[in-house]
Amino acid sequence: MNRFKITELGKEVFWLRDSERDHLARVLRLKPGDLVVGFDNTGMEYTSVIRKIEDKSVTCQILSTDHPDVEAHTSVYIVAGLSKGEKMEWVIQKGTELGMEGLIPLRAKRSVMQLEGSKAQERVVRWQKIASEAAKQSHRVQEPKILEVSAWKDLAERLPENTQWLIPYEEEKTQRLVSVLDTLDPQRPIAILIGPEGGFDETEVSMAQEKLGAKSVSLGPRILRTETAALATLTMVLAHYGDLG
């Protein structure tokens, strides 16, 4: 069954408008009587039948309401140093499937692109769309949030105060990710700081350790590209707390 993000939720019906309406009516060419699933980012899921397709909206009648246990129980965020377009998009798409709670694009020292102003905003809109599509495809009921592009100094404010920060770092040779995960509290959010191509520089790692209390961790002896490191770390964190695999 096709999945749609609800624009407005009523008591026994919901409405789809704008791009969701167009996707249903024009792209998928669904008809009144067809079954669809709606979700509203609260964790609920509504199996419904299409009643009316109009120029500006689709009306769906709710048949049953569920609260599927599909979201990860530990909130894991990726903080990704800005890297080339395709890599960010992959991390957002796959990170969504795997179960991340959200992603913060970070202007890191070695980021080749330093998105500013309206360009940054446009890019975030595009990334949010990728996350929303991936959330549907993976049957999630909450879309991960792509936060605005941030500088190091704003990072702490972006996430809850009790967030636990991890920073995979090639020069960290002793502290392994898995042993640090044993010491974290899965009830509190976890943020994974991932460098851009070329990695974080030393001063960024020190800053993360001092200002955010970030723990540097080793991912093992093989060098991982930035996008591989992001997704592998997310996978291992979610798996460690039983949210994946």
Q: Which residues bind a copy of itself (CB under 8 A)?
A: 68-70, 90, 93-94, 97-99, 137-140, 176-178, 217-225, 227-228, 231-233, 235-236, 239, 242-245
Report the nearest approach of a copy of itself to the CB of residue 1 (Å).
13
Length of the chain counted residue by residue: 245
Nearest approach in angstroms of CB 235 to a copy of itself is 4
Rank residues 15 and 127 by Cβ distance to a copy of itself and give the closer one.
Answer: 127
DSSP state of 170: T
Residue 62 or 224: the one with the smaller Cβ distance to a copy of itself is: 224
Looking at the Cβ atoms of 98 and 193, the one nearer to a copy of itself is 98
Instruction: Provide, rounded to whole angstroms, the least separation between the CB of residue 18 and a copy of itself.
Output: 25
Of 93 and 163, nearer to a copy of itself (C-beta) is: 93
Q: CB neighbours of 58 closer than 8 A, spacing ≥ 6?
A: 15, 16, 17, 20, 21, 24, 25, 50, 52
For 142, residues 6+ apart whose C-beta sits below 8 A from its C-beta are 39, 41, 42, 43, 71, 135
CB of residue 40 vs a copy of itself: minimum separation in angstroms? 18
For the chain, helix (H) and strand (E) counts, in that order, are: 7, 12
- Residue 25 neighbours by CB distance under 10 Å: 18
Q: How far apart are CA 66 and CA 199, in angstroms?
A: 43
> Which two three-digit tokens encode residue 112?
């080749």
Specify the residue, 53 or 233, whose C-beta has the smaller distance to a copy of itself. Answer: 233
Pick between residue 19 and residue 235 the one whose CB is nearest to a copy of itself.
Answer: 235
Q: Are 114 and 106 in contact (CB under 8 A)?
A: no
CB of 109 vs a copy of itself, minimal distance in Å: 21
Q: How far is the CB of 97 from a copy of itself (least distance, A)?
A: 5
Find the radius of gyration of the CA atoms of the chain.
20
